[in-house]
A and B are shown apart, each in its own frame.
Chain A
Amino acid sequence: MSACKECIRRSWLLGELSRLLDYHRGELSTLLKLLALNDEALINFIAGSRRAELTEHWERFELDDPEVKPGVQTTCMHRPNYPRALLGREAEPRMLHIIGGRERLAELSAKPAVAIVGSMRPTDYGMEMARSLARGLAASGVTVVSGLANGIAAAASAGALEVDGPTVTVMAGGVDVIEPAGRRDLYERVIACGCVVAELPCGFPAQRWCEPARARTVASLTQMTIVVEADQDRRELLGAHAAQALDQPVMAVPGQVTSPASRGTNRLLMEGVPMVRTPADALERLCGLRSASPEPPPLEPDLQAILEHVGAGRDTPGKLTAARDDPRETLLALSELEVKGLLGRGDGGRYVPRESLTDK
């Protein structure tokens, strides 16, 4: 059953007010307060010279069928299949456009869900961590929610898709506006496996206020937010701040103290946010149980030693061969680890561990 007229009108109104909302994008709390207002109050508060015109249109709003676009469905807070997680939140989105099926979204949002957020310019370490966390969580049946943005968000979706796991992607603009355009492939794979949702009307290009608005939708859809890698400025930490504004648990992945890309996450950890190293850490916090994941088979001591070298930052073939006696054996071991899927190659030919080291 598609969304009711009032909720569709709300979505239309947000689109109309988009330019004006952009003035308030800077402060997350202000934006959330605005989004919590009802329609009349919102028009009164920010519409300015367009107030009369918008009020008139709003009063005589004619229902365009938003499902006119093939594949796009809608749902709203007045419908039984609306994600329960969204109800009762501060400034919750009132309706969603969905590609991938209303029922599928209801099903995905009924599961425990985790948001994976972070930097748009991560390091290879961040990419691999996002991917392996998402993969592990999705494999345990947790829905992974993220955006389509470059960096951590895309890596998280890709990680969940590696195991065909449940995943929801929230678009900043219209649900059919693929932004960034280079992620079309990922977008289509998400649709095949999970859902893509958006609050704004179809065809609506994202404005800058849509980023924080999306961050709140991502946080609202989940029970917990994991920040994988983020520098300390506001834009990088947007996901974390949105979750904190909604009083939702946040976890952070530690990074090297010397890495600027981890300044934000390390600061969160210092402020007392729990640390997450493996999917098991996140599952423990989410469901309160230590998962009984099987211990990985022990590695040969040689391979284990190399893996530890790489984890400790000696991650280029030159450094690795210099650190050990026999270069040929070292290269062979590196190839074996790659074939086993325990090492990947990042930019510039650096090796990146693909799973975090387990406690002994």
Chain B
Amino acid sequence: MLARVKTFTIDGLQIWHVAVEVDIRPGLPAFTIVGLADASVREARERVQTAIRNSGYALPMSRITVNLAPADVPKIGPGLDLALACGVLAASNQVPPDLLEDHAFLGELALDGSVRSCRGTLAIAQACVEAGARTLVLAPERAREAMLVQDLRVAPVQRLRSAVGVLRGDPPDPLPAPEDHELAGAGVSETELDLSDVRGQDHAVRALVIAAAGGHNCLLSGPPGTGKTMIARRIPSILPSLTRPEAIEVTRIHSIAGDLHGRLAQTRPFRAPHHTTTAVGLVGGASKGRVGEVVLAHRGVLFLDELSEFAKSSLEALRQPLEDGRVAVVRATHSTVYPARFMLIAATNPCPCGYAGEGARCRCSETDLARHRRKLSGPLLDRIDLQARLEDAGSEGLSAAPWTSSQNARERVIEARERQAHRLRGEAVTTNAYLDLQTLQQHSQLDQQGQQMLLDAAARGLLSARGQNRTLRVARTIADLNGRERVATQDVGVALSLRPETGLRSSRAA
């Protein structure tokens, strides 16, 4: 006879509802799975058969055919095991088939019949509600993730036997005790890195607070060993915490990627891909619709260390996400749009050896310098609003008091962001970094003197037309940080001194 069970499969960030149809009829004993199943699903045959036997149920010695519908969506991963097993039990009348209607199943089976958790639980729980299942049966480890979704009964089960019990109306297994950090709630977690560890880089930290306040993309430059990476890692600690919808969005992505374990994301993601990462690694779309680093950095920080060492194609691939806050990946088997709104922090040495401007210490030839500059002048750098320069702090700087703590900086950033949100109410954007030209003009209310300064800077060749807008955007943020409604000349001056040096107009390009 025939049984039908609900489960889900993951394709990129998209969740597909899969109907597992199990049919058992007399014939030579066989177990066939059709419906674009990948290797891990086809191997489920062995796991399911053994788990059924080891759980004390009977495996029917007849012809078992399983169809995974819809037939044109590739089914990936071992999360379908539990649904397969329940389908076989229902089709062989060991479970009443009509009870399956309201339930969805997610879990990998071990040979002894215990249930293992699978990635993507939160996203699957959301899809579950849409597919009309009232109860999601899954392994206990990640059950808390599923509980974030409203209007869904979550039934954690440790074994196949308990899953059958749930179908019969027994209570589900208890959840494991929450870990300490989950009890602490949505605050800043203890282990987080703090800006007060940074010494003698006041200028760079000041620039970063501005970047964080306006959501501006930022370039960190400085000689090796001055702490570019150290500072970059502390940026999430001065960004406003995730709002609940944002946290669910982030958790969903990271749960699918498999690097989050059964709880709501609390801090903004920080991704630091190595400079050998390819374009596909950055934007995603490798086999089985794996998401890229830009998607994992959604709502957080993407840190590119040694920017000039990245392949040109990788950097070019970042243009769309930086422009639109999303990335459309089209591959032979699928095309998907992923969200990718992140703050880009890039770090670079001033030259290949790192000591440019320090006279004879720099061993780079003119050609090396030209190549380095060319790498840093691409269209990607057009999207970077300001540059924070780090310098050798010296022993004096290292023993100085820190300029600010993350706590203080975060309060200032939040205040500035609130000011922006208030001023930009009714607009499509919420931070200064995404202001388009028209809104920017309208909201900057620049005084005459400041306007003149921008024009003079352009006439002097310091700023391109696009550069003027970038400077004005940063000036707007500085004014917000200082609690000013109008942008003053001072703000423009400070923004101008932080402008990124991305063009080829260096002193050496004579």
Contacts and interface: CB of A to CB of B under 8 A. Distances in A.
Contact of A335 (B356, B357, B453, B506): B453
A260 B391 contact: no
A259 to B, nearest CB: 6
B360 A182 contact: no
Nearest to B459: A339
A101 B479 CA distance: 57
Nearest to B457: A339
B223 interface: yes
For A259, A329, A336, which residue has the most chain B Cβ atoms within 10 angstroms?
Answer: A336
A85 B494 CA distance: 52
Interface string A322-346: 1000011101111110110100111
B372 to A, nearest CB: 10
Contacts of B492: 335
A169 B242 CA distance: 62
A331 B202 contact: no
B359 A123 contact: yes
Interface string A288-322: 00000000000000000000000000001111011
A158 interface: yes
Interface in B233-286: none
Contact of B497 (A131, A155, A317, A344): A317
Contacts of A266: none
A335 B452 CA distance: 13
Interface residues of A, number: 45
Contact of B223 (A127, A329, A333, A348): A348
Contact of B462 (A127, A328, A339): A339
Range class of the B interface residue count:
35 or more
B350 A150 contact: no
Contacts of B387: 349
Contacts of B362: 347
B357 A346 contact: yes
A261 B359 contact: yes
B494 A158 contact: no
Interface stretch (B73-81, B115-123, B130-138, B363-371): B363-371
Interface string A229-245: 00100000000000000
Interface string B18-56: 000000000000000000000000000000000000000
A318 B390 CA distance: 8
Interface of B: 201-204, 206, 221-223, 350-351, 355-360, 362, 366-367, 369-370, 387, 389-391, 453, 456-457, 460, 462, 489-490, 492-494, 496-498, 501, 506-508, 510
9 contacts: A155-B510, A158-B510, A231-B360, A318-B390, A327-B203, A335-B494, A346-B357, A347-B351, A347-B356
Interface of A: 121, 123-124, 127-128, 131, 150-151, 154-155, 157-158, 180, 182, 186, 231, 259-261, 316-319, 321-322, 327-329, 331-336, 338-339, 341, 344-350, 352
